[in-house]
Amino acid sequence: NAGVTQTPKFRVLKTGQSMTLLCAQDMNHEYMYWYRQDPGMGLRLIHYSVGEGTTAKGEVPDGYNVSRLKKQNFLLGLESAAPSQTSVYFCATTGSSYNEQFFGPGTRLTVL
């Protein structure tokens, strides 16, 4: 079992470009999350999903969109990247009643 995987691991974009980050899980979890992590800021929730076909805004959703067309995949899109979106992005999933979250390895994104 791969657990939670993220694609790509690293990416460099120019301001205004678009991209999609993919999170895939084989744990059959209902809940999936996208976080961003900036130095000294901890993890901040961007968007989340409570099941296939559902999405909702988190703490810092502006500039991002998400889709959950299949239970195992959660996509994070940046339509027009800005330097302020330079960050490490983590995907996480949970399915247990204890809500422990399982994190993917992260995607390091730099916007020039």
Partner 1 sequence: QQPVQSPQAVILREGEDAVINCSSSKALYSVHWYRQKHGEAPVFLMILLKGGEQKGHEKISASFNEKKQQSSLYLTASQLSYSGTYFCGTGSRSGSARQLTFGSGTQLTVLP
Q: By the criterion CB under 8 A, which residues form the site for partner 1?
A: 31, 33, 35, 40-45, 48, 50, 56, 58-59, 90, 94, 98-106
CA dihedral 85, 86, 88, 92 (to 10 degrees): 10
The residue (of 18 and 54) whose beta carbon lies closer to partner 1 is 54
The least distance separating partner 1 from the CB of residue 76, rounded to whole angstroms, comes to 16
The residue (of 17 and 103) whose beta carbon lies closer to partner 1 is 103
Q: Are 86 and 110 in contact (CB under 8 A)?
A: yes
The residue (of 29 and 111) whose beta carbon lies closer to partner 1 is 29
Tallying the residues shown for the chain, one arrives at 112
The Cα angle at residue 61 between residues 78 and 6, in degrees rounded to 5: 55
The least distance separating partner 1 from the CB of residue 84, rounded to whole angstroms, comes to 18
Which tokens in the block code for residue 96? 């247990």
The residue (of 8 and 16) whose beta carbon lies closer to partner 1 is 8
Q: Measured between alpha carbons, how far apart are the two ends of the chain, in Å?
A: 36
The least distance separating partner 1 from the CB of residue 104, rounded to whole angstroms, comes to 6
